[in-house]
Every structure is written in structure tokens, then in C-alpha cells.
Amino acid sequence: MIKNTYHHGNLKENFLEIAFRFIATHNVERLTLKVLSDATGTSRSAIYRHFKNKDALIALMIERGFEKFNDTMAPVLTNANEPLVDRFYLATKTYVEWAKEYPSLYRLLFGHAYAHLRDDIIDINDDNSLTGFGALKQAIEEGQSSGIIEKKSSHTQAIIIWSSLHGLSSLIIDNFTRVEEVSSELYDAMFENLLAGLITNKVKIISTIPLINTILKPKDTL
């Protein structure tokens, strides 16, 4: 048995840390309370004082996981020092890279297996919900106010962007037809299509990203 060197007052956080480390290399279905017990050398009763069952553990992991995701996404989307369209490009690229870096956690947050727990924790209709979705919707509304983005339902526009990102991210982390090998090209093509469906072409758009300037460059006409 592993010698118990964990401070009792920090046990809950220690259990969470161990659980996140475990799913980084294992399928979340293999995570059990016994894994926590073995890793800390604590009794099952000590674990049950913090988590009455696996679902209670998973629920807190989902909550903390979305906080981690939001802490990555929101600062990129709200960075007023960057042109808005650049923020969209960088944030959506960050989304895909985050899914690639934390594939098991990404599946836990956005997959179907624990949707019954997730739906009790987050609500994308709540702009204050720490999911990254509120920050995306806010950025879209900023673009609408400045005339860059079409004035349509910001919620619907955010869902369309999110759906595209989720689809590409899922294909990449599940290595569908080896899509990872061309993921960069696919991402740029996806972003070009998303941008075409969002912008109004009514105001001059400023960008420091060469790809975006290429996309926005007027096409030669015959």
C-alpha cells in the first residue's frame, strides 16, 4: 500500500488531481473510487466523505474541467488588444488545440456518456456559465455592434461556430481517417467558411494574421 502522505484537509483536491491525471492516460470509464484509494493509501470511507459515488466525482470533474476550459478560451476572446477577427481565429484554434492536449477530458466535458450530469451543472443559455460559450457569444455581439458581424441571433451564431469546432476536434482526437495529418489545413478551411458566414463586408476589417488578410482580399473578377 502507498504510504499516505496527503494532508487530510486537502484530500478532496488531491483526489481530484489524481482523477484528472488518471484520465489523461486512461479512458474515464476505468476511473473508480478505488483508483483514488490506492493512489493515496486512504480508506474507502475517507473517499466517501467527499464523494458518495463515482458520479459525484465525475460531476465535480466536469465543473472544474469547464472552468479550466473557460480559463483558456475566455481571455483570448476578450483580449481588447487584439483585433476582433484575430481573436476569433486565435480562440477557435485554441479550442482545437485544447481538445488535442486533453482528449479524455474533452470527451468527458462534451461527450454523451455523462450528459446527464453535465446538464445539471452547466447551461449555455446562461451567459455567466463558465463554459467559454458566454465569452464567444459576447465577442459575436461586440462584432455586431461594430458592424463587422451580421446582426442575427448571437446564440445561433455561437452554436454554429461551436458545432464546427466540436466536429473537427472530435475527428482529430479520434483520428478519423488520419485527419490529424491535415488538421492545420482543415482548420484554416473551416475558419474561412465560418468567417464568410459571419462578416458583413460593410466595414473595413483589420487583422494582423496573414491568412485572414488573404481571405478578406477582394477576389479578382473577370
Q: Tell me what pLDDT residue 97 has.
A: 95
**What's the rounded Cα separation, in Å, for the pair 20 and 63?**
12
Domain spans in the chain, listed from the N-terminal domain onward: 1-52, 61-216
Tell me phi and psi for residue 199, to 5 degrees.
-75, 155
**What's the rounded Cα separation, in Å, for the pair 145 and 153?**
13
**CATH code of the region 1-52:** 1.10.10
For the chain, how are helix, strand and coil distributed in percent, rounded to 5? 70, 0, 30
Q: How many Cβ atoms from other residues are within 10 Å of residue 170's Cβ? A: 17
Q: How many Cβ atoms from other residues are within 10 Å of residue 15's Cβ? A: 25
Q: Which three cell numbers stand for residue 106?
A: 474533452
Q: Tell me what pLDDT residue 1 has.
A: 34
**CATH code of the region 61-216:** 1.10.357.10
Q: Which three cell numbers stand for residue 139?
A: 465577442
Q: Tell me what pLDDT residue 180 has.
A: 77
Cα separations (Å) of 180 from 12, 49, 210?
36, 43, 23
Q: Tell me what pLDDT residue 219 has.
A: 58
pTM: 0.88
Cell 482529430, located at residue: 172
C-alpha atoms less than 13 angstroms from C-alpha of 58 in its C-beta half-sphere? 23
**What's the rounded Cα separation, in Å, for the pair 149 and 85?**
10
**What's the rounded Cα separation, in Å, for the pair 122 and 164?**
20
Fold agreement (1-52, 61-216): no
- Mean pLDDT in consecutive groups of 10 residues from the start of the chain, 222 residues: 50 94 94 93 90 95 95 95 95 95 95 92 77 92 95 95 94 85 87 91 88 80 44
AA identity, residue 185: E
Q: Tell me what pLDDT residue 122 has.
A: 86
Q: Cite the beta strand spans of the chain per DSSP E.
A: none
Nearest to 28 by CA among 57, 63, 69: 57
